[in-house]
Amino acid sequence: MPMNYVKTAMLLAFLTAIFVMMGYLIGGSTGMVIAFIVALVMNGFSFWNSDKMVLRMYQAQEVSEANAPEYYRLVQGLAANADLPMPKVYILPSPQPNAFATGRDPHHSAVAASTGLLDISSREELAGVIAHELAHIKNRDTLTMTIAATIGGAISMLAQYLQFSAMFGGGSDENRSSPLGWIGVLGAALLAPFAAMLVQMAISRSREYQADRMGAMICGNPLWLASALGKIERYARGTVNEEAEHAPATAHMFIINPLNGRGVDNWFSTHPATGNRIAALEALAREMNITQSSSAPAYTEEPARQPGGPWSRTARDTDGGRGPWG
């Protein structure tokens, strides 16, 4: 996917330029040089480690076939359908139903689903969600998504620090070193929401539609993902994802926007309207002559399960309150 590599390079260039400009506003030419060096180091580090940082940020727990057999085999079957290497499989300890994929390429990738998603999803719905995330991996969207989240988050944190400095340290040496004085520091601080907007808008909404369509092909039924999206949207709006609220620059990574509008970072939508995505999937199902009950799972030879599956609340209660993720 050469075009995705071009988009990634352009995104990194824009984010680096913002970071360097912030350095200039704070410390003049010296600050600009320091910021440029830091940005180069951060770009290289995030290329190799941003996926691990994001997974750690969300306290993701890696699982295997031994401790989460149903979930793991589902991912395994779908990855085979997509002609992808087996990604690492993670569980996010969050009641908000959601999921994301990460990794710099298909050979270094991971998919992560929340406990909330595993609780409310049927096997078919979960297959639709995981297939969507595998589509992002196959399209190499995850490289752009993860690096954007890491660098954008760093810019936002720096801007918040500078805003605090401008408000409570107007006469400090740091502010006087700026070529524009405290105005420069305050100006840099106000870049925070714009940096977040840049990160969110850089991840084109068309990528979600593309991943929806490809994911439907991978799992074999667009209506499974359509049903999952509607259910996730309903539950996610009533459940706060604390980690996402503290790191809004990562919101674009999830299948549904995890933010609940607590702050300025949520002014800019990172996802297409869920209703529009569902309508597009339903239209695709009509093109494929698929109805809600027209096909058995295409991703595994195991028989279809009843909604809820072994990861459901009922199964966890029966097993002492713990699901297949341990």
Phi, psi of 139 (to 5 degrees): -80, -5
Q: Sign (positive/negative) of CA torsion 176, 181, 182, 184?
A: negative
Residue 217 and residue 67 in contact, taking contact as beta carbons nearer than 8 Å: no
User: Binding site annotation covers 246?
Assistant: no
Active site annotation includes 133: yes
d(CA 27, CA 326): 50
Catalytic-role residue among 133, 245, 301, 302: 133
**At 92, phi and psi to the nearest 5?**
-100, 125
**Cα–Cα distance between 211 and 277 in angstroms, integer?**
11
Q: Is 107 annotated as contributing to ligand binding? A: no
254 contact partners, CB below 8 Å, separation of at least 6: 98, 99, 100, 244
Residue 271 assigned as binding residue: no
The whole-angstrom separation of Cα 29 and Cα 23 is: 8
What is the rounded (10 degree) CA torsion for 166, 167, 168, 172? 20
d(CA 187, CA 226): 43
Q: Concatenated DSSP letters for 149-172?
A: HHHHHHHHHHHHHHHHHHHH-TTS
Provide the CA 121 distance to its chain's centre, in angstroms. 19
**Binding site members for Zn(2+):** 132, 136, 208
What are the catalytic residues? 133
